[in-house]
A and B are shown apart, each in its own frame.
Chain A
Amino acid sequence: MSTAPATIDGPLLTADGVPLKASLEKSLRRSKLRALLLVAPPLLFLIFLFVIPIGNMLTRSVDDKLINNVLPQTFEAFEAWDKESEPSEAMFEALYNDLKSAEKTDIGKASVRMNYALPGWRSLVKRTARKIKKMEPPYKEAFVKADDRWLDNTYWLSLGIMKDKRTLGYYWNAIDRTYDFDKNVIHQPDERKVYNLLWWRTILVSILVTIACLILAYPVAYLLATLPMRISNLLMICVLMPFWTSLLVRIVAWMIMLQQNGVVNDTLVAAGIISDDNRLAMMYNFNGTIIVMTQILLPFMILPIYSVMKTIPPSLMKAAQNLGATPTLAFIRVYMPQTIPGIGAGCILVFIVAIGYYITPELVGGKDGRLIGNMVAYHMQRSLNWGLAAAMGTILLGVILLFYWVYDKIIGIDNMKMG
């Protein structure tokens, strides 16, 4: 009772009088530091390969700074304009000043951006910029002389779409909508509607491929998990073989198999099942995309299901039968429910990979087998409309997260077993 009365009210002290808290903190600091060092490499890896690129994509998808930086005076003059009268001399002068002081490459980029808002801008700006050096006031006349499209108010009006430094325009474009000149969202004209169809097709293909994979993978996984080691190892090699073969080689193999004059059609014709002019169209269309993607993504379904099945003790099936269930009933009531985590993981995995797939549809999809991934690639590589590509990528990401959320609600992420 008489020992250390001070510790009763005051903070706890260690034997040498240092407060216990401080002492504990000091002893933990080292291990915290070590822990930090250990997680640093993966953290950096995550930041450089995941956070930064995705952040960059997100910014790019809404970014409209460039044009505002290249044409600051023009936009100021545009704001002052009543949008009904003829464009004033002051507006042309502002444009002249902007074009004159801007870098040539920036003007090029800006004109590309303007062309998304209104086709024609690019050539208009290009032609005008070429003559800008020799222009004299009054600028309006000089501009019209350079290109008489300057008389057309629509070009000036379309600046309204681009006047903010951030825009949701790319997102609207990605779902077949656009801005009118007052920045109201309107439908694209029918002949320019392409993406919605592709979105729906992408989701449909992803779902169909996921279902096809599930149907094909389940029995294979079951065999893998239950056959004797020697045979199941062999089977496992067969499952993994595609992983060791180049994707392109596999796709080409499918082309040889499935095209109009391919092995399958030839066999069917030779067997008399179909006539020569009724050869099945299994390649360069929707079917081709489904067939080949299913084959390529099958291992992603087999492996998680297999790894879950492997953990189910065989004694459970025996117990169920011992308790009076027929083998079929035992399978349905006892075995299958326990494979759900594997099914969920496999479906999510296949669906996510499928929804962003691009190389297979590109090669075997033909016209009606193209997916949204092909559009992203097209806008990245050909049209160089990175804003639109980024917006599509972001929507894809959103769709995946949405499905993930639904999955979590139905099955629970904690239940997922990747193996």
Chain B
Amino acid sequence: MPSENSLVRFVDIQKSYDGDALVVKNLNLDVAKGEFLTMLGPSGSGKTTCLMMLAGFEPATHGEIFLNEHPINRVPPHKRGIGMVFQNYALFPHMTVAENLAFPLEVRNIDKSEREQRVNRALDMVQLGAFGDRRPAQLSGGQAQRVAVARSLVFDPDLVLMDEPLGALDKNLREQMQYEIKHIHENLGLTVVYVTHDQSEALTMSNRIAVFDDGIIQQCDPPPVLYEEPNNAFVAGFIGENNRFVGKVVEEDGDVVKVEVDNNVGTVIAKKVNVGGIGSRSTLSLRPERVTVNPEPGSLPNIFSGLAEELIYLGDHIRTRFTVLGHDDFIVKIPNSAVHAHLKEGDTVNIGWNAEDCRALDPSD
């Protein structure tokens, strides 16, 4: 969807390092002005490579990248004016925090008084006003991270790239930084391209998530769409938890299909999303929270009996593993409330789900 307000546009980008294998295969992606776009994918899926091509450190093997509608393939990194937070922060160890921040202003020949002013403003923004004289080695991980963010913003770029900036932090700090980065993004009206392999991070922060696998964008959508309506088995599996059955389509009626699960264990009614006609194979994907235990008979199109194998108490819900339709890894999240059944291991109960909640996707592997 090329539009006038897209800031970055990848057009037919391909990248190979060794001439044998494509690390990025035919990437087409638009990033709108002011958008927080996250590239999410397993390690090695080509996310960093995309970011490096955008920052100018790796040439694209094929295709063109546009920034503000200008092709930038031939623009060297120092002329692109893109801010970047590196994976391990890349702070200059021989300079103080303030000198680190002043560096981009110095190379732009901004005079001293304004430089100081902007450095202080950037430090205040990340709540490190008193740390200007420290060396990077004297900072904690979280502080170094903030300095890196401040440095990427101090020269007022329109676009900031972040490559797994929170990967090295512990969980609490990571969550706090997620909010801080998000707020900075909103307050400054920045465009951010963010890389992570952590799905919850991506879901928390992004306007849109591009799910990468094997050098291809599998799906690029806002977080709720991605979670509720995954387009294929990889996305369904990568984002959130899901129960899967693999089988063959035996009946088709509008956007509802009947899929016979392998080994003749039963037939499931599902929503047709990404699957061929009768006879084609399909992966069924079903979120654990969309399963009902002990449904009224006849209230749901899919009702099967399940054997409770394992219960894990998690406070607000009880995570229960059932054997259903011959699969012993069927997970159900039972809310911890008075109206819900209290199961024991070894109980056999009926469980069921709606056809819309069970998505018939492409056959994975």
Please give the residue numbers on chain A whose beta carbons come within 8 Å of chain B beta carbons, in ascending order.
313, 315-316, 318-327, 329-330, 333-334, 337-338
Contacts and interface: CB of A to CB of B under 8 A. Distances in A.
B78 A322 contact: yes
Contacts of A315: 86-88, 90
A326 B77 CA distance: 8
B123 interface: no
B353 interface: no
Interface in B54-109: 55-57, 76-78, 80-84, 86-88, 90-94, 103-104, 107-108
B92 A322 contact: no
Contact of A324 (B87, B88, B104): B104
Q: What are the 4 closest A-B residue pairs judged by CB atoms, nearest first? A: A323-B104, A319-B90, A315-B90, A321-B77
B93 A321 contact: no
30 contacts: A313-B90, A315-B86, A315-B88, A316-B92, A318-B55, A318-B57, A318-B77, A318-B90, A319-B90, A320-B92, A320-B103, A321-B56, A321-B76, A322-B55, A322-B77, A322-B78, A322-B83, A323-B103, A323-B104, A323-B151, A324-B78, A324-B81, A324-B155, A325-B78, A325-B103, A325-B107, A326-B78, A330-B78, A333-B103, A337-B94
Best-buried of B83, B104, B107 by chain A (most CB within 10 Å): B107
A322 B103 contact: no
B107 A319 contact: no
A313 B88 contact: yes
Main SS of the interface on chain B? loop
A313 B88 CA distance: 9
Best-buried of B78, B88, B94, B104 by chain A (most CB within 10 Å): B78
A259 B160 CA distance: 62
Contacts of B94: 337-338
Contacts of B93: 338
Nearest to A319: B90
Give the interface residue-count category, chain B.
Answer: 20 to 34
B19 to A, nearest CB: 14
Contacts of A316: 90, 92
Given A318-B55, A322-B80, 19 more contacts: A315-B90, A316-B90, A316-B92, A318-B57, A318-B90, A319-B86, A320-B103, A321-B77, A322-B78, A323-B103, A323-B151, A324-B104, A324-B108, A326-B107, A327-B76, A329-B107, A334-B92, A337-B94, A338-B94
A315 B148 CA distance: 13
Interface string B347-358: 000000000000
Contacts of B86: 315, 318-319
A331 to B, nearest CB: 12
B283 to A, nearest CB: 39
A334 B92 CA distance: 7
B73 to A, nearest CB: 16
Interface in B156-203: none
Contacts of A324: 78, 81, 104, 107-108, 155
Contacts of A330: 78
A337 B94 CA distance: 7
A323 B87 contact: no
A401 to B, nearest CB: 28
Nearest to B55: A322
B159 to A, nearest CB: 11
B122 to A, nearest CB: 13
Contacts of B155: 323-324
Given A315-B90, A316-B90, A338-B94, A322 B84 contact: yes
A104 to B, nearest CB: 68
A245 to B, nearest CB: 36
A64 B156 CA distance: 77
Interface in B33-59: 55-57
Nearest to A323: B104
A320 B88 CA distance: 14
A51 B160 CA distance: 60
Best-buried of A313, A324, A330, A337 by chain B (most CB within 10 Å): A324
Best-buried of A315, A334, A337 by chain B (most CB within 10 Å): A315
Contacts of B78: 321-327, 330
Nearest to A312: B93
B126 to A, nearest CB: 16
A323 B107 contact: yes
B226 to A, nearest CB: 30
B275 to A, nearest CB: 44
A322 B162 CA distance: 12
Nearest to A337: B94
Contacts of B80: 322
A45 to B, nearest CB: 35
A316 B103 CA distance: 12
A310 to B, nearest CB: 15
A18 B225 CA distance: 72
A321 B83 CA distance: 10
B88 A322 contact: no
A327 B108 CA distance: 14
A358 B253 CA distance: 96
A211 B218 CA distance: 57
A319 B16 CA distance: 23
A188 B86 CA distance: 67
Nearest to A340: B94
Contacts of A326: 78, 107
Contacts of A338: 93-94
Contacts of A313: 88, 90
Contacts of B81: 324
Interface string B245-273: 00000000000000000000000000000
A333 B102 CA distance: 13
Best-buried of A313, A322, A337 by chain B (most CB within 10 Å): A322
Contacts of B107: 323-326, 329
Nearest to B148: A319
A329 B103 CA distance: 11
